[in-house]
Amino acid sequence: MGNTITEKILMAHTGLKKITPGQLINAKVDIALGNDITAPIAVKEFDKAGGKKVFNKNKIALVLDHFTPNKDINSAQQCKAVREFARKHKITHFYEGGNVGVEHALLPEKGIVLPGDLVIGADSHTCTYGALGAFATGVGSTDLAAAMLTGELWLKVPPSIKFIIYGKLPKWVSGKDLILNIIGRIGVDGALYQAMEFTGETIRKLPMADRFSMANMAIEAGAKNGIFAPDTITREYVKTRAKRDYKFYASDEDASYTDIIEINAAKLEPQVAFPHLPSNTKGISKAGKVKIDQSLIGSCTNGRIEDLRIAAKILKNRKAASHVRLIVVPATPDIYRQAMKEGLLEIFMKADAVISPPSCGACLGGHLGILAEGERAVATTNRNFVGRMGHTKSEVYLASPAVAAASAVLGRIASPAEL
């Protein structure tokens, strides 16, 4: 019996010649990630354990992206604690201020995470890096502290589900729509502690931005990780970014899966996840005319330059409806600069959008876009639980950049085809 790509990467980081789903292993970590919410707890645990030195200053990334620029005194204290730790231990990959970006867009962009890596992060959407053919998963802050101390992490080998996606994507249908549709099919616990492996002819043609969106939301189906076998598209993305060696892995033909699910992408339309679960999905034709108060385009799911280009294409020579607050969040400084260079920011400003600095703030209801009681937002983010973006009596509808842009213009949940 062969092995899946997930099992092969885990074996390579344990030295074991054979592993099986459910087995407990200690694996060596290539990158350990924390942010301004989760890292302060890890720092306290690191110190409490008597930590004097991190296992490798080049293999830790600390990104202050959630409540920065600091929204209040508490967030300033959080960032101060991480900043002091980073300086004390001379952490190579420390980002704040004008260098900070949304962590799960920033690390791949800078070549910090690469194919074949084992990445852990004290953030649930660390699974994003599976788009590169890495094993990446979210952990708790105490696990992050342990990894910063030892360079290793205890985990259980997950079984895998294979998703075979075929057919040509219709106009305005993207990776975001694919993953929303998948989560709608299997539910928020449909891949509980399993690896979601994405393959098929549609996937092989899918751009990296769409792969990042899909891997990013694997956790919304309860998955341990989401993963794509790296290919020529992956190589093109990493070849100018990588500053160290990396390795491509692929599943064996006789690898074992708990389930194999086939999806005809040609039959899909843009998707919308209604409150209050990412699995509460509907095709845009069945969404109805839901009035919105805010449209958010950005986040670690859909804040890349490709996402902004799609939104700008729809918003060009149009304005957001007078009752809609349109917020655009380029995910990193480089994406911000590229959007400025291409004239996308000018299009957004003419559409009456607020352009935010790179931040996770609005996505988690932290700042820069909080919803009031009774308000509704369409967002290109990844989670729409009760109170996710603000008041517990507000509502969040998850969608692609295309749908979010069209909805901003029409003032309701809408398809770009309606414009």
At 270-305, the pLDDT tens digits run 999 999 999 999 999 999 999 999 999 999 999 999
β-partners of residue 272 are 282
Angle formed by the axes of helices 175-186 and 208-216, to 10°? 30
Task: Give pLDDT, residue 322.
Answer: 96
Which two three-digit tokens encode residue 416? Answer: 């770009």
Q: Sheet with 259-264: list strands edge to edge.
A: 225-228, 195-199, 160-166, 259-264
Arithmetic mean of pLDDT, 214-240: 97
Measured CA to CA, the distance from residue 118 to residue 258 in angstroms comes to: 22
The predicted-structure confidence for 301-324, as pLDDT tens digits, reads as follows 999 999 999 999 999 999 999 999
Task: Give pLDDT, residue 379.
Answer: 98
pLDDT at 1 over 90: no
Q: How many structural domains does the chain have? A: 2
Amino acid at position 316, single letter: K
* Inter-residue contact 298 to 328 (CB < 8 Å): yes
Pairing of strands 325-328, 294-297: parallel
Which two three-digit tokens encode residue 178? Answer: 């694919």
Q: Last residue of a domain, which of 208, 235, 262?
A: 262
Question: In terms of domains, do 322 and 228 share one?
Answer: no
Amino acid at position 210, single letter: D
Q: Last residue of a domain, which of 232, 262, 292?
A: 262
Question: In terms of domains, do 173 and 307 share one?
Answer: no
Question: In terms of domains, do 317 and 216 share one?
Answer: no
Question: In terms of domains, do 342 and 399 share one?
Answer: yes
Question: In terms of domains, do 183 and 304 share one?
Answer: no
Question: In terms of domains, do 391 and 289 share one?
Answer: yes
Name the 3-class secondary structure at 162. strand
Question: In terms of domains, do 219 and 82 share one?
Answer: yes
With a CB cutoff of 8 Å and minimum separation 6, the contacts of 227 are 5, 6, 130, 133, 134, 135, 195, 196, 197, 198, 215
Arithmetic mean of pLDDT, 405-409: 98
Question: In terms of domains, do 109 and 222 share one?
Answer: yes
Task: Give pLDDT, residue 313.
Answer: 98
On average, the pLDDT of the chain sits at 97
Which structural domain, as residue segments, surrounds residue 341? 271-414
Quick one: what percent of the chain has pLDDT higher than 90? Answer: 99
Backbone angles phi, psi at 326, to 5 degrees: -95, 120
Question: In terms of domains, do 353 and 405 share one?
Answer: yes
Q: Last residue of a domain, which of 235, 262, 289?
A: 262
Question: In terms of domains, do 408 and 297 share one?
Answer: yes
Instruction: Count the neighbouring beta carbons within 10 Å of the beta carbon of residue 90.
Output: 10
**Residue 390, by phi and psi: left (phi above 0), alpha (psi -120 to 50) or beta?**
left
The span from the first CA to the last CA of the chain, in angstroms, equals 52
Counted residue by residue, the chain has a size of 419
Question: In terms of domains, do 353 and 292 share one?
Answer: yes
CATH of the domain at 278: 3.30.499.10
Residue 419 covered by a domain: no
Pairing of strands 281-283, 294-297: unpaired
